[in-house]
Chain A
Amino acid sequence: MAKDTEDGVGTEPRGVSPEEQPLLRVDHVAKSFGPVKALIDGSVDLYRGESHALLGENGAGKSTLVKILAGVYQPDAGHVLLDGVPINLASPAAARDAGISIIYQEPTLFPDLSVAENIFMGRQPLRTGRRIDRGEMNSHSKDVFTRLGVPLNPSRLARGLSVADQQIVEIAKAISFNAQIIVMDEPTAALTEVEVSRLFDVMKNLREQGTAVMFISHRLGEVFEACQRVTVMRDGRFVNTSRIEDTDIDTIIRSMVGRDVSSMYAENTTVPGENVLEVEHLTREGVFTDVTFNVRAGEIVALAGLVGAGRTEVARGIFGIDKVDAGTVKVGGKKLAHGSPLAAMAAGIGFVPEDRRQQGLVMDMAIDRNMALASVGSLSHFGLIRKASERSLASEWAARLQLKFGRLSNNASTLSGGNQQKVVLGKWLARKPRLLIIDEPTRGIDIGTKAEVHRLLSELVAQGVAVLMISSELPEVLGMADRILVLHEGRLAAEFSRGEADEANIMRAATGQLKKSAA
């Protein structure tokens, strides 16, 4: 996965030497929220012209550190030093003035305003009478986009931009500020491969102009591709910093988790049984076309492909979230009514969606109620919910999934990302599904919980459940799936069995260089 010293790694960052003053030093910074210590000892040095990866499991304190740099949170202890001088990042504006820009995973644009105005919000160029000079603003924006090598129209609305383009707008904003430090918080999570490589080009560009980039990602492969140094955090503390050529993925994982993760993936030895799901010629105009496949009991089938290839949409079509235009979905040989999640559920399908916070959980609802949300009907007696059954269902699944929580009556928002995912899983497993559709099972989940989720999926198929998995992480697809279906622009481009598949041929199929007939 680490591509040695071919592309990114070769360029020696200017000034990465112990004598030189770091551009930014985060020095033993701490932050608590009530009794929760989010950050105990955050430390990291950032030099001009380097891309520096900040790694750690969810809950390691990265986001808190980022928010401190953004001026959103104030540290309880410790200092942030710019060129050796302590600075007070009292507000987002102060951070901006200090030359620090943050690119969030979900870009925070104003959809109703133009791209140029998004870039210059709050500091639009002025002409006489302190009036906004729109011409100047648009031409400035155009200049920045030219520098980045991305042709975006500055006067179009931000509404409707792809996530990748939104990030480019954010980076343009940072550049227009003359930001010296750009912090990217999981920028690649929602990008396609093409977009990721475009982003890395932009990063390289920035680096060569002397900007320091802090890069946060859960995809370790990317870190080796794009960064020169890496700092690992664990449980709110700094663990170590190393040059990328002095370390490897296993070492980094060990320091992130604090222990050895013996084997990430378990082999599925279950012999597939009957067809559980049969999808025939499923079509939704302009989204996916003529998709046909099946999933048998006791096997994991992965839907791979680039973001935007229609993977999630196919899953949504099967589960009845969206209406499809043509084709049939059969579960256990019986045709399913279109466009009805209830019908899909009644047929024994469970659906763990990709967006946990918006689609998987009711964040401000108690954990037990979340777990029971899809089963309240069957927990009722004469139309009234039996609260005791509800609670016992929740505590049973909390125990089975080794959920780490305060009380079952706490809101789901109090849980870490991995534990939230377990609640969503519990919600569907409580219904004893025949088929589990799981979209990005481990996105934004720390490595420890990731392995647990994978083990759980393996156990499920061993019990004869059929699993349809969608994942953007190729190692996960290769490690978990018995069969891999690759979508390209809404059509099935290839199907591989576990033995045939490797990263190269999946990517070829996903980028349209391989047609299904050839497979």
Chain B
Amino acid sequence: MTTVEDRELLKLPEAEPRNIEDRLRGLVRWEGGLVILFVASLFYGASTSPYFMSIQTFFFAGLNFGEIAIMALPMTFIIITGEIDLSVASMLGLSASILGYLFMHGWSIWAAMAICLVVGIVGGALNGFLITRLGLPSIAVTIGTLTLYRGIALIVLSTNTATGFPSWTTNLSLPIGGTHIAYDFAIFVVMAIIFGVVLHMTPFGRSLFAIGLQQETAFFSGVRVKRIKFLLYVLSGFICAFAGILYTFQQASSASDTGTGLELNVVAIALFGGVSIFGGRGTIFGVFLAVCIFGSLQASLTDANVSAQAQTIVTGVLLLISVLVPNARDGFSRVRSQVRRRRVRGAT
């Protein structure tokens, strides 16, 4: 059926100028900017402290940031579908509390961990149920479960602190044997690779983008929208529970307020990594770079004796940059067209 004419028709428009612009846009993608920023942050760190470039620094950066980074991965999936999960940090805290409670009450560490993961799955399923089956807005639902899960953590552990975990668990806060890599960070990297492959190379990942951009079309094309969203919340719950376990081991203790307020950090990392809050756009690579930048900036600012609270300014500024810079392009063209119009009007 394809004739010569058709083929020509196919080729014809390739000469259009728009394509050059397309290619340029590809080059100056957000991730490109992030790479530059990452390098810049390394230079900054090196300039503030001679010790910055040491392997120790990177180890601690990875250690401090591991759980947030891990939770940012399912968050990325969820935001790409146009939803949000603000209950992640509470789930982390709940998991940590249950782990501590069960362990203190004589459970074996393995059984306690298994229960935590199950609780994560159940908690995620509750989010997913309320959002996909009852059709409630995810931002409101997860603010609710944020409070609920933290509340349950309080009931479980009240004001106690659980300690005395087996030594092999607390050893997780040391570098991986023979290297200077933190376990948290290594786990994050492995997970990021898996998440990246799933998001960018599988039909499942493709359907996440379709859902985020045009949910109805996705459904009309055979994507099981509700089921996928439900699964994402279950996944998020599971991974946050897992992060809670890691966090407990790393701190060698757990309390009911473990990880309070981290949810906004997790969202911030995903957004700074170039994931659009409206859904449909984002890459795991971008999120990975965002983690690296936050990590290295945190390390260098700590080196420079900037208090943890004051460091939040950097988080905030980076977040604002992440939305302002991509918009600046449109802003410039708006201004340009206005100027041109004024000139035209002036000329006539």
Q: Which of B7-42 contact A (CB under 8 A)?
A: 7, 9-10, 13-14, 16-19, 22
A404, B5: Cα distance in complex, Å:
12
Complex Cα distance, B197 from A327, in Å, reads 43
The answer to whether A385 and B22 have CB atoms under 8 Å apart is: no
Q: Can you list, as one digit per residue, whether each of B196-225 has a CB less than 8 Å from chain A (1) or not (0)?
A: 010001110011011001101111111010
Instruction: Check A380–B202 contact: CB distance below 8 A.
Output: yes
Check B6 against A361 for contact (C-beta < 8 Å): no
Q: Which residue of chain A has the shortest Cβ distance to B13 in the bound complex? A: A406
Contact stretch, chosen from A6-14, A21-29, A133-141, A368-376: A368-376
CB neighbours (8 Å) of A427 from chain B are 221
Contact across chains for B18 and A360 when beta carbons are under 8 A apart: no
Interface of B is mostly: helix
Residues of A within 8 A of B201 (CB): 384-385
CB–CB A407/B214 < 8 A = no
Question: Do the beta carbons of B9 and A369 come within 8 Å of each other?
Answer: no
Whole-angstrom distance between the Cβ of B280 and the nearest chain A Cβ: 6
Most buried by B among A77, A359, A380, A395: A359
Instruction: Tell me the complex Cα distance, A65–B221, Å.
Output: 35
Q: Which of B6, B19, B206 contacts A407 (CB 8 A)?
A: B19
Measured in the bound complex, the distance between the Cα atoms of B91 and A501 in whole Å is 65
Contact A359 to B10, CB < 8 A, known contacts A373-B210, A406-B19, A407-B19: no
Point out the residues of chain B lying under 8 angstroms from A362, CB to CB. Answer: 209-210, 213-214, 217-218
Which A residues from 276 to 320 make CB contacts under 8 A with B?
A: none
- Contact B222–A342 (Cβ < 8 Å): yes
Q: Please tell me if the beta carbons of B219 and A406 are within 8 angstroms of each other in the complex.
A: no
Highest count of chain B CB atoms <10 Å: which of A400, A402, A427 = A402
Instruction: Enumerate chain B residues within 8 angstroms of A365, measured Cβ to Cβ.
Output: 209-210, 213-214, 280
Are A400 and B2 closer than 8 Å at their CB atoms?
yes
Is A83 part of the contact surface with B, judged by Cβ < 8 Å? no
- Complex Cα distance A365/B224, Å? 19
Q: Is the CB of B9 within 8 A of A363?
A: no
Closest Cβ of chain B: how far from A88's Cβ, in Å? 8
Determine if A396 is an interface residue (Cβ-Cβ < 8 Å).
Answer: yes
**A383 within 8 Å of B by Cβ?**
yes
| CB 8 Å contact bits of B216-239 with A (1 = contact, 0 = none) | 111111101000000000000000
Q: With an 8 A cutoff between CB atoms, is B1 at the interface? A: yes
Per-residue B-contact encoding for A309-349, CB less than 8 Å = 1, 0 else: 00000000000010000000000000000000110010000
Residue B341 interfacial (CB < 8 Å): yes
List the A residue with the shortest CB-CB distance to B203: A376
Question: Measured between alpha carbons, how far is A45 from B202 in the docked complex, in Å?
Answer: 56
Does B190 touch A at the CB level, under 8 Å?
Answer: no
- Knowing A362-B218, A380-B202, A385-B202, the reply to whether A404 touches B13 (Cβ < 8 A) is yes
Say yes or no: is A18 at the interface (Cβ < 8 Å to chain B). no
Task: Say which residue of B10, B213, B341 sits within 8 Å of A398 (CB atoms).
Answer: B10
Mask, A54-78, CB within 8 Å of B = 1, is: 0000000000000000000010110
Q: How far is the CB of B177 from chain A (nearest CB, A)?
A: 33
Closest to B207 in A: A376
User: Which residues of B are found within 8 Å of A177, using beta-carbon distances?
Assistant: none
Q: How far is the CA of A114 from the CA of B202 in the complex (A)?
A: 47
Confirm or deny: A405 has a beta carbon within 8 angstroms of a beta carbon on chain B: yes
Q: Quick check: is A364 within 8 A (CB to CB) of the other chain? A: yes
State the CA gap A276–B210 with chains docked (Å).
30
A238 within 8 A of B: no
Q: Is the CB of A359 within 8 A of B13?
A: no
> Is the CB–CB distance between B344 and A76 below 8 Å?
yes
Closest chain-A Cβ to B333's Cβ sits at a distance in Å of 8
Q: Is A499 an interface residue (CB 8 A)?
A: no
Q: Choose among B1, B13, B202, B222 the residue that contacts A400 (Cβ–Cβ < 8 A).
A: B1
Residue of B nearest to A344 (CB): B222
Which residue of chain A lies nearest to B333 when distances are taken between CB atoms in the complex?
Answer: A34
- B206 close to A385 (CB less than 8 A): yes
List residues of chain B with CB within 8 A of the CB of A358. 214, 216-217
Chain B residues whose CB sits within 8 angstroms of the CB of A384 once the complex forms: 197, 201-202
Q: Quick check: B220 and A360 within 8 Å, CB to CB?
A: yes
In the docked arrangement, what's the CA distance between A11 and B95, Å? 79
Instruction: Tell me if A's interface is mostly helix, strand, loop or mixed.
Output: loop
* A466 CA to B196 CA, complexed, in Å: 41
CA distance A361 to B213 in the complex (A): 10
Residues of B264-286 at the interface with A, using a CB-CB cut-off of 8 Å, are 280
Q: How distant is B213 from chain A, measured CB to nearest CB, in Å?
A: 5
Among B2, B197, B209, contact of A399 (Cβ-Cβ < 8 Å): B2
A35 sits at the interface (CB 8 A): yes
In the complex, what residues of A have CB within 8 A of residue B203's CB? Answer: 376-377, 380, 383, 385
| Chain B neighbourhood of A377, CB < 8 A | 203
**A242 on the interface (CB 8 Å rule)?**
no
* Residue from A351, A380, A399, A404 in contact with B220 in the complex, judged by beta carbons closer than 8 Å: A351
Q: How far is the CA of A408 from the CA of B202 in the complex (A)?
A: 20
Q: Which residues of A contact B2 (CB under 8 A)?
A: 396, 399-400
- Closest B residue to A365 by CB, please name it: B213
**CA of A364 to CA of B19 in the docked complex: distance in angstroms?**
16
Given A373-B221, A398-B10, A399-B6, check contact A364 B202 (CB 8 Å). no
In the complex, chain B residues whose CB is within 8 Å of the CB of A351:
220
Residues on the B chain within 8 Å of A247, using CB: none
* A363→B213 contact, CB < 8 A: yes
Q: Does A353 contact B (CB under 8 A)?
A: yes
Question: Is A407 touching B22 in the complex (CB atoms < 8 A)?
Answer: yes
Alpha-carbon separation in the docked complex, A363 to B341 (Å): 29
A102–B102 alpha-carbon span in the complex (Å): 67
For B213, list chain A residues within 8 Å (CB): 362-365
In the complex, what distance in Å separates the CA atom of A374 from the CA atom of B224?
Answer: 12
Whether A404 lies near B9 (C-beta < 8 A) is yes
- The answer to whether B214 touches A369 (Cβ under 8 A) is no
Least CB distance, A482 to chain B, in whole angstroms:
24
B217 and A364 form a contact (CB under 8 A): no
Contacts of A345 in B (CB 8 A): 222
Interface residue? A268 (CB, 8 A): no
Complex: A359 Cα to B217 Cα, angstroms: 4
Between B18, B22, B206, B221, the greatest number of chain A beta carbons within 10 A of the residue's beta carbon is seen for B221
Task: With both chains docked as a complex, state the minimum distance between the C-beta of B104 and any C-beta of chain A, in angstroms.
Answer: 42
4 more CB-based (< 8 A) A-B contacts, given A360-B217, A365-B214: A362-B210, A384-B201, A399-B2, A404-B9
Sample (28) of A-B pairs whose CB atoms are under 8 Å apart:
A35-B16, A77-B348, A321-B220, A341-B220, A341-B221, A341-B222, A355-B216, A359-B220, A362-B218, A363-B214, A365-B213, A373-B217, A373-B221, A376-B203, A377-B203, A383-B203, A384-B201, A385-B203, A395-B10, A396-B2, A398-B10, A399-B2, A400-B1, A402-B6, A406-B13, A406-B19, A407-B13, A410-B22
**A interface with B by C-beta (< 8 Å):** 34-35, 74, 76-77, 321, 341-342, 345, 351, 353, 355, 358-365, 369, 373-374, 376-377, 380, 383-385, 395-396, 398-400, 402, 404-407, 409-410, 427
| Residues in B lying within 8 Å of A, measured CB to CB | 1-2, 6-7, 9-10, 13-14, 16-19, 22, 197, 201-203, 206-207, 209-210, 213-214, 216-222, 224, 280, 341, 344, 348
10 closest A-B pairs by beta carbon, nearest first, are: A376-B203, A362-B214, A399-B6, A399-B2, A374-B221, A373-B221, A362-B213, A384-B201, A359-B220, A345-B222
